[in-house]
Structure 1
Amino acid sequence: MTWDLLLTGGRPGDVAVRDGLIAAVGPELPRDARQVIDVPGRLVTPGLIDLHTHVGPGYWGIDPDPIAWCSGVTTWVDAGSAGAFTLSGLRRVAAESAVRVPALLNISALGLAGRTGENRDLANCDTALAIDTIQANRDLIRGIKVRIDIESVGANGVEPLRRGIAAAETCGVPVMVHIGAPPPALDEVLDLLRPGDIVTHCASGIAAPLGPAVHAASARGVLLDLGHGSGGFAFDVLEAQLDAGLRPYTISTDLHARSVHGPVFDLPTTMAKLLAVGLPLSDVVAAVTEHPARALGLPGGTLTVGAPADLAIFDVRAEHFPVVDAHRQVRTSPTRLVNEATYVAGRLLTPRLPAPPAPWIPLTEAQRSALADRERRIRHLLSTPLVDVDGLAEQFPRPNPRSS
C-alpha cells in the first residue's frame, strides 16, 4: 500500500497522506510513499484555522495565499467582509485561493465595502435576506458576523445584533459579534448571546470586557475569541482575564489590510503573544486547530485518520523575542514558531509574493521603509543567479569529437 506523502521524524509522529486525507499517524511508519519528507524534531500540527480574517473584496481584504504558505494557516474564515449584496465577490476569492475560505455572512447586506458604518441603515440589516442567503450558500457560509460599536451602528444600538441572532437561529448557525467602543453598552451586547456564539476582540483594550457580564456569558457557553486586529487586543486586559479565570477559546488574528503590516503580522506571531502571557504551547495550538474547527463545524483541526491532510510544520525555537499588542504594550515570548512548510489536502503551498498595500491603508514611515527594504532584498535575491558553475550540470552534452 503506497501513500502519496509521508512526513517522518516529527512530533507527535510520522504522518502519511493519501488522496488528500490523513491515512496513518504513528511512530516509524513504513517508508512506502511516493514522496518522503524528513522533518526531524519539528512540530507537525493540523493546518492552522484562523477564525477571524478578512480576505474578501472591500476596504479590509487581503490575499491569503502569500501569507498562508509561510505561516501554516490553511483555513481562513472570512469574518463578515461580505453581506448578501457582495457575497459573489467573496465566492470568487474562495474559488481562486489555494487555502480554504469559509465565511461568516455580515448581517449588513453591504458587507465591509467601506471602513465602517455598515449597520447605520437598518434597511441593510435584512433578516429575511440573510436567511435566504445562508440557505442558498451552505457550502460557503458557517455563521453570521455583526460589528457592534458606535461607529458601525450609529444610533441603532444592538438592533443589528438582534437581527443577526434571529437569522442565525433560523439557520442553526452561530453569531460572531465584534465588540468595541460604546454605545451600546458591552453588557447589553453580551447578554443577548447564546451558547456557541462568539465574542471576537475578547481582550479588547477599548471594550475592556472584565465585568460580571463576560463571566456570565462564558459560563453559559459563549466562546471568547482573541481577534487581535489593529485595535482589538491589549495585553493588560488579557492578563486580567487570565487572572480572573477567563481565557480565549480561540486565537485569531483579525488579519486585514490595516493589521497585516503590524501589529498582527500573522497567526504564528499572534500565537507567540499568548505564549508570552504564560499559556502552554499545547493550549495555544488547540486554540488555532481543534477549537475553531469545533466552533464552526469546519473540517480539519486534527491529525486523525480520515481528516483532511491540511498540515503545518514548525521549527519551535527556544528563543526570547519581544511581541507587541494593538496599543504598543510589549511582552516577551519564550518561543518563536517558524513555519517550514504548509500543506492543503496534501499539496504543498508554494511561495507567493504579497501585493503592495492599498493606497488608503495608513502606514508609519517605519512601515513604509521596511516594505521598501523588503522589496529591494527580494529583488536582489531573485535577480542574482541561483547557483554558480559548480552547481550546474551539462543538460545537453556535446558529442565527443571524432578521433583523427
Structure 2
Amino acid sequence: MTDDLLFTGGEVAGAGRVDLAVRDGRIAAVGPGLARAGRSVVDVTGLLITPGLVDLHTHVGPGYWGIEPDPVAWRSGVTTWVDAGSAGAYTLAGLRRVVAGTELRVPALLNISAIGLAGRTGESRDLDNCDTALAVDTIQAHRDLIHGLKVRIDRDTVGANGVEPLRRALAAADACGVPVMVHIGTAPPALDEVLDLLRPGDIVTHCASGIAAPLGPAVHAARARGVLLDLGHGSGAFAFDVLERQLAAGLGPDTVSTDLHARSVHGPVFDLPTTMAKLLAVGVPLDGVIAAATVRPARALGLSGGTLAVGAPADLAVFRVEEGAFPVVDAHRQVRTAPLRLVNEATYVAGRRLAPRLSPPVPSWIPLTDAQRAALAQRERDLRALLTAPLVGADGLAEQFPRPTPRSSDA
C-alpha cells in the first residue's frame, strides 16, 4: 500500500533513530517503536531519511535550458523542483504541460520577461517584454503554480537596460505579495546597484559566483535586512574560493540549489546531493546542509514540503551516508574534498516510491567536452548490457504454469 507505510530504523538528522508512519500521502507519526499492525513496513535501518529535497533553482520548463526532472529525481531525492524563470507570461502554458506530466512538485518563479528562457540569453534586452501589468495578471491567474518572480541581471541579459527589469519585477512582486529571485553575473549593472534594491525575503541566486564575487558591505547590508542568499551552482556561477571567503565573513548561503539545466546536469553540477557535498567540503555541518536543501527553501517560497512534521506531505528521501574522501569540483574546475556524501537509495512523493527513469538524449545545441560525450556513450553501453542480459537464470525462476503429472496409463 502506498497510503499506509511504516519506515523503521532510519536516522533522522537531529532526532536520531526513529520510525516514520505515512497515511494517505502524508506523515502520520514520527517516533520510536511505532505500531506495525496494518502497515507495509519499509526497513531503512542504517540509512538516513530526510524530507524530500527542495531544489530552489532548476530549469525544467521548455526552452534552451530545460531538462526532464523525473530521470534525475528518482536517483537524487529531489521531490520539489522550483522552476526558476524558464517560463514567462507568453510561455507559461509550456511549463503547465511539464507539470501535468510529472509526479514531482514543480512550483514556479515567473520570468519578468514574457518570453522566458526560450534562448540562451537576452530575454530582457527589449523592455516591452518586461511588462509589469502582464506579470501581475499572470501571477494572479496562476496562483497555484507561481510563487514568485525571477529576473536575470547581467550584461548579456539586460543589455543597456541596467536594473530596469529588476525594478519591474519588484513592482509586480509588491502587487502580488511574492518574492523576487535575482540572478547575478557579469557587470554592468554593478552588483551593489542590484543588491540595494532588494527587499526582505527576496533571493540572490549564484551567491558564491566567481564572476559576480558577492563580497563587501552591500552583501552584508542585504543579508541584514533579510535578503536570502542562494547558492545556485549552475554551469558557471559557483566558486569554492568565493564561498570560503563568504563563510569566513559570516555570509554562508541560506539555501543550496543546483541551477540544474541542460548545460549543468552533465557537469559541473550533476545533481543536488553532489552540490550538497560541496558545502560539506568547505566545512558546513551535515545538519545545516540538509536544512539548506529542505526546510529553508520551502520556507522561502511558502511551500508545504521540506519537513518531517506530522501532517506534512510524505515527500521523503532515503540516503546511504558514505564516509571517505570524495573530490568535488566547482564551475571553474577548482577541487575540494568532501568527508562524506549522500547516495540516494529511494525517493518518495506523497508516499509513492518513484520508479527509475532514463534521461533523454542531450540536445544538439548543448556544448559537451569529448570526455563528457565518451562518458555518456559508455553509460549507454553499460545500461544496454545490463538490460539486455536475462534478469536471472533457471534457479531464479518459478514454474508459473506447471505441466500436468503424467498418468500411469500414458506411460
> Are residues 1:228 and 2:223 paired?
no
- Aligned to 1:372, which of 367, 370, 377? 377
Using the size of structure 1 for normalisation, the TM-score is: 0.99
**What does 1:190-201 align with in structure 2 at a 5 Å threshold?**
190-201=195-206
CA contact (8 A) 1:3 1:34 kept: no
Report how many aligned residue pairs link the two structures: 403
The 2-side partners of 1:327 and 1:389 are apart by: 52
The residue type equivalent to 2:206 in the other structure is H
Match of 1:100, SS?
Answer: coil
**What does 1:240-319 align with in structure 2 at a 5 Å threshold?**
240-319=245-324
In structure 2, the residue matched to 1:351 is: 356
How far off its partner does 1:57 sit?
A: 0.4
In structure 2, the residue matched to 1:74 is: 79
**What does 1:60-209 align with in structure 2 at a 5 Å threshold?**
60-209=65-214
How far off its partner does 1:32 sit?
A: 2.2
In structure 1, the residue matched to 2:390 is: 385
Unaligned residue ranges in structure 1 (runs of 5+):
none
CA contact (8 A) 1:319 1:334 kept: yes
- Aligned to 1:363, which of 361, 368, 392? 368
The 2-side partners of 1:234 and 1:18 are apart by: 43
Unaligned residue ranges in structure 2 (runs of 5+):
13-17
CA contact (8 A) 1:6 1:33 kept: no
Identity %: 79
- Aligned to 1:29, which of 31, 34, 39? 34
The 1-side partners of 2:64 and 2:24 are apart by: 38
The residue type equivalent to 2:391 in the other structure is L
CA contact (8 A) 2:3 2:351 kept: no
Deviates more, 1:265-274 or 1:92-101: 92-101
**What does 1:45-60 align with in structure 2 at a 5 Å threshold?**
45-60=50-65
CA contact (8 A) 1:320 1:336 kept: no
Match of 1:319, SS?
Answer: strand
In structure 1, the residue matched to 2:216 is: 211
How far off its partner does 1:3 sit?
A: 6.4
In structure 1, the residue matched to 2:9 is: 9
The 1-side partners of 2:327 and 2:396 are apart by: 39
Q: Residue by residue, what CA displacement relative to the aligned partner does 1:148-198 show, whole Å, maximum 9, x if unpaired?
A: 000000000000000000000000000000000000000000000000000
The 2-side partners of 1:320 and 1:312 are apart by: 23
Match of 2:356, SS?
Answer: coil
CA contact (8 A) 1:51 1:79 kept: yes
How far off its partner does 1:33 sit?
A: 3.9
The 2-side partners of 1:232 and 1:299 are apart by: 28
The 1-side partners of 2:150 and 2:173 are apart by: 10
> Are residues 1:18 and 2:20 paired?
no
CA contact (8 A) 2:74 2:355 kept: yes
Match of 1:237, SS?
Answer: helix
Match of 2:20, SS?
Answer: strand
How far off its partner does 1:34 sit?
A: 3.7
The 1-side partners of 2:35 and 2:49 are apart by: 18
The 1-side partners of 2:32 and 2:82 are apart by: 33
The 1-side partners of 2:3 and 2:357 are apart by: 28
CA contact (8 A) 1:53 1:77 kept: yes
Runs of 4+ with deviation above 3 angstroms: none
The 1-side partners of 2:21 and 2:37 are apart by: 9
The residue type equivalent to 2:318 in the other structure is I
Match of 2:220, SS?
Answer: helix
Match of 1:155, SS?
Answer: helix
Using the size of structure 2 for normalisation, the TM-score is: 0.97
Deviates more, 1:159-168 or 1:19-28: 19-28
The 2-side partners of 1:92 and 1:107 are apart by: 20
CA contact (8 A) 2:29 2:310 kept: yes
The residue type equivalent to 2:6 in the other structure is L
Match of 2:7, SS?
Answer: strand
How far off its partner does 1:49 sit?
A: 0.2
Match of 1:109, SS?
Answer: coil
CA contact (8 A) 2:3 2:25 kept: no
The 2-side partners of 1:32 and 1:215 are apart by: 54
Deviates more, 1:11-20 or 1:48-57: 11-20
Q: What is the alpha-carbon root mean square deviation over aligned residues?
A: 0.9
The 1-side partners of 2:230 and 2:216 are apart by: 17
Match of 2:150, SS?
Answer: strand
Q: Residue by residue, what CA displacement relative to the aligned partner does 1:335-384 show, whole Å, maximum 9, x if unpaired?
A: 01100000000000000000111000000000000000000000000000
